[in-house]
A and B are shown apart, each in its own frame.
Chain A
Amino acid sequence: MALLRAATRRVVIFLVTVLVASAVIFGIVQALPGDVALATLGMGASPESVDALRVQWGLDRPLALRYLEWVVGMVHGDFGASYLTGQSVVSQIGPPLAVTAWLVGLSMPLSLLAALPLGLVGAMGRRRWFGVSVNAATHVGLAIPVFFVGAILTIIFAVKLRWVRANGYVPLTTSPGEWAIRLVLPVASIVIVQACFLARYVRAGFIDVLTEDYYRTARAVGWTRWRGLWRHGIRNVATSVVTVIGLQLASLLVGAILVEQTFAMPGLGSLLVQAVRRRDLMVVQGVGMLLVAAVLTVNFLVDLAYLAIDPRLKRGGRS
């Protein structure tokens, strides 16, 4: 029953947040300077033609009415249509979403996979040369902007060695080979930066464990240094790393734009920037709502992960 109540609470919070977010997004988008009709027709257009276009797109009607229409539409799965092309927002978001989802969905797990050993080595060797050098390397990796990493990787692997392609995107369904060969560098760029970022949290988590009494117990019962630290430290590390991954996932969905631009990939971030530039407000609102939903979902999954990781949270009591 407690579970059911918690689940109900979750759903209510989710709905309220989405509603509030929709109002905020709508408000901000409407407050943006510039006007889609004006932006479409150009600065030299006569006021009459601009007004005519505004009437044609329904922009002359009251804000509240347009907001209501938009919300009701979304409830029915209709996110509106682009003013410019008349295409539905859903069909416009689909393909870029796939690009970004692949990019983020592949690079986050790989980043974690790289960060775990880096952080473990950094923690265990924090007073020795190998740990210090790993730690220094992650700092350097963190200091380099992701587009710069992308540019360097492009020069080496796409221009000089010609192993992979560094521009554009081909859907998986069209050609798996082309898809893979074009995703390697963008994914690698994100992984390099993200792994360095995550490795710092992994390292800090493991260093905490090294000073814990239960790590000493683990050693006293016969675990060797490394295996004991992994076995009895990974859950402690997971708690903090899951939090960071949740935050990173959310920001990466849009933040991937730097990589998308570097590699000329038509992702979500690119779509958003393009839509803002053209004042294609329906698309901007749609992407905004999608991100809100994504962040909420990720947060929910993070909370679930906490429960799985730390048994003390299940009954709410700790001593």
Chain B
Amino acid sequence: MSVLRVRDLTVSFGRRHLVAVDQVSLDIEPGQRLGLVGASGSGKTVLASTIIGLLPDNAHVDGSVTFDGQELTTLPDREFSAIRGKDLTMVFQEPMTALDPTMRVGRQAAELVALHSESSQGTTRQLVVDVFDRVGLDQASRIVDAYPHELSGGQRQRVIIAMALINRPSLVICDEPTTALDATVQAKVLRLLDEELASVDAACLFISHDLGLVASLCSDVAVIHAGRIVERGRTEQVFHHPSHPYTAGLVATASIDKVRPGERLPVIEDFFDPSTVDSAPPSESTNRPHRRIRRSR
């Protein structure tokens, strides 16, 4: 059975029902890693927020999201909260702001354990230290007593990854987990994520606009454009033989090393004319975060 099953998911916002995610269907099998690539505003983050149930109040959701066979879109908050952080976790994009600045990081990680189990305080601390140690935080026993502002960006992201893994989830959603980090730290964090996902045998929905990252981490990939999945398949298949012109454009624009000096850099529009395709962005698109939005119904 799929760990995650999304069917005909449509998410729209506000009174005008501006659509950010449009008729999306996808499955993730246990232990599988699915990369979700697309440009800014293509609906990646909205899709992730919908799955974990943290959409803003003005969102409307249609369709179905089932996790371990349980329908999530209609699940009451109290029951959903019991799943969040335990079986379904998330690694966020912004390590600098995703941790509570007024609370020691060890305590924030310990909350996850306390919220989802009845284990005693004493063993929880040791568990947190162990997990911090595993995600490569040197002197983990000291870092648990640090406040977020005392840690570097890379350290904070390791804390966040540790928090996402501490309860041995079956699915981890990673929303551009390395975007805010510099390149050397990025590579380390990514390797860590790779190892730790494997060690707890968690499936992963890995959201990124960086095709290289997705290729190195994910067996499968889905390409999202204007709220729709335009292509889906094995990673090497999709990247080497893209069938959708948008994917071809994404791949070409990511391969800057193939551009000869003096030559113009490729842009998506060289491959893909939005106006000719069914999933065209709307003429009334606004400056909101979800730029490619369309009126539904």
Residue from A217, A218, A232, A236 with most neighbouring chain B CB atoms (10 Å): A217
B102 partner residues in chain A, CB cutoff 8 A: 235-236, 309-312
B85 at the A/B interface (Cβ < 8 Å)? yes
B82 at the A/B interface (Cβ < 8 Å)? yes
B52 at the A/B interface (Cβ < 8 Å)? yes
Q: Are B147 and A223 in contact (CB under 8 A)?
A: no
Complex: A221 Cα to B98 Cα, angstroms = 11
Segment at the interface with B among A97-105, A178-186, A208-216: A208-216
Q: Are B100 and A218 in contact (CB under 8 A)?
A: yes
Q: Are B81 and A224 in contact (CB under 8 A)?
A: yes
A222 at the A/B interface (Cβ < 8 Å)? yes
Instruction: Name the one of A213, A225, A318 contacting B94, with C-beta atoms under 8 angstroms.
Output: A213
Q: Are A312 and B81 in contact (CB under 8 A)?
A: no
Complex: A309 Cα to B103 Cα, angstroms = 10
A219 at the A/B interface (Cβ < 8 Å)? yes
A127 partner residues in chain B, CB cutoff 8 A: 57-58
- List which A231-248 residues lie within 8 A (CB) of chain B: 232, 235-236
A218 partner residues in chain B, CB cutoff 8 A: 100
In whole Å, how far is A130's beta carbon from the nearest beta carbon of chain B?
A: 14
Q: Are B111 and A221 in contact (CB under 8 A)?
A: yes
A223 partner residues in chain B, CB cutoff 8 A: 81, 111, 115
B163 at the A/B interface (Cβ < 8 Å)? yes
B82 partner residues in chain A, CB cutoff 8 A: 222
A43 at the A/B interface (Cβ < 8 Å)? no
A317 at the A/B interface (Cβ < 8 Å)? yes
Q: Are B84 and A219 in contact (CB under 8 A)?
A: yes
In whole Å, how far is A259's beta carbon from the nearest beta carbon of chain B?
A: 36
Q: Are B103 and A232 in contact (CB under 8 A)?
A: yes
B219 at the A/B interface (Cβ < 8 Å)? no
Q: Are A214 and B147 in contact (CB under 8 A)?
A: no
Complex: A318 Cα to B150 Cα, angstroms = 8
Which residue of the partner chain B has the closest CB to A227?
B81
- List which A106-147 residues lie within 8 A (CB) of chain B: 127
Which residue of the partner chain A has the closest CB to B53?
A219
In whole Å, how far is A205's beta carbon from the nearest beta carbon of chain B?
A: 12
What does the 1/0 interface line of B85-107 toward A look like (CB < 8 Å)? 11001101010111111110000
B81 partner residues in chain A, CB cutoff 8 A: 219, 222-224
A220 at the A/B interface (Cβ < 8 Å)? yes
B267 at the A/B interface (Cβ < 8 Å)? no
B202 partner residues in chain A, CB cutoff 8 A: none
Complex: A239 Cα to B276 Cα, angstroms = 55
B3 at the A/B interface (Cβ < 8 Å)? no
Instruction: Name the one of B77, B96, B111, B163 contacting A224, with C-beta atoms under 8 angstroms.
Output: B77
Q: Are A213 and B147 in contact (CB under 8 A)?
A: no
Q: Are A220 and B92 in contact (CB under 8 A)?
A: yes
Q: Are A221 and B84 in contact (CB under 8 A)?
A: yes
A319 at the A/B interface (Cβ < 8 Å)? yes
With A213-B92, A235-B102, A309-B102 in contact, do A220 and B85 touch (Cβ < 8 Å)?
yes
Q: Are A214 and B101 in contact (CB under 8 A)?
A: yes
B103 partner residues in chain A, CB cutoff 8 A: 232, 235
B92 partner residues in chain A, CB cutoff 8 A: 213, 216-217, 220
In whole Å, how far is A232's beta carbon from the nearest beta carbon of chain B?
A: 5
With A216-B54, A311-B147, A317-B149 in contact, do A221 and B97 touch (Cβ < 8 Å)?
no
Complex: A236 Cα to B101 Cα, angstroms = 9
Complex: A223 Cα to B163 Cα, angstroms = 14
What does the 1/0 interface line of B134-161 toward A look like (CB < 8 Å)? 0000000000000101000000000010
Complex: A312 Cα to B96 Cα, angstroms = 14
Complex: A232 Cα to B101 Cα, angstroms = 9
Instruction: Name the one of A219, A221, A225, A312 contacting B101, with C-beta atoms under 8 angstroms.
Output: A312
In whole Å, how far is A176's beta carbon from the nearest beta carbon of chain B?
A: 40
Complex: A216 Cα to B56 Cα, angstroms = 10
Instruction: Name the one of A212, A222, A232, A312 contacting B149, with C-beta atoms under 8 angstroms.
Output: A312
Instruction: Name the one of B84, B100, B116 contacting A220, with C-beta atoms under 8 angstroms.
Output: B84
Q: Are B84 and A214 in contact (CB under 8 A)?
A: no
Q: Are B85 and A224 in contact (CB under 8 A)?
A: no
B205 at the A/B interface (Cβ < 8 Å)? no
Instruction: Name the one of A217, A317, A318 contacting B100, with C-beta atoms under 8 angstroms.
Output: A217
Complex: A319 Cα to B99 Cα, angstroms = 13
Complex: A46 Cα to B84 Cα, angstroms = 87
Interface residues of B (CB under 8 A from A): 52, 54, 57-58, 77-78, 81-86, 89-90, 92, 94, 96-103, 108, 111-112, 115-116, 147, 149, 160, 163
Interface residues of A (CB under 8 A from B): 127, 212-214, 216-225, 232, 235-236, 309-312, 317-319
Q: Which 7 A-B pairs have the closest CB atoms?
A: A222-B85, A221-B85, A213-B97, A235-B102, A214-B100, A222-B115, A311-B147
CB pairs A–B below 8 angstroms (15 shown) = A212-B97, A214-B98, A216-B54, A218-B100, A219-B81, A220-B85, A220-B92, A221-B89, A222-B84, A222-B86, A222-B116, A223-B81, A311-B101, A312-B101, A319-B96
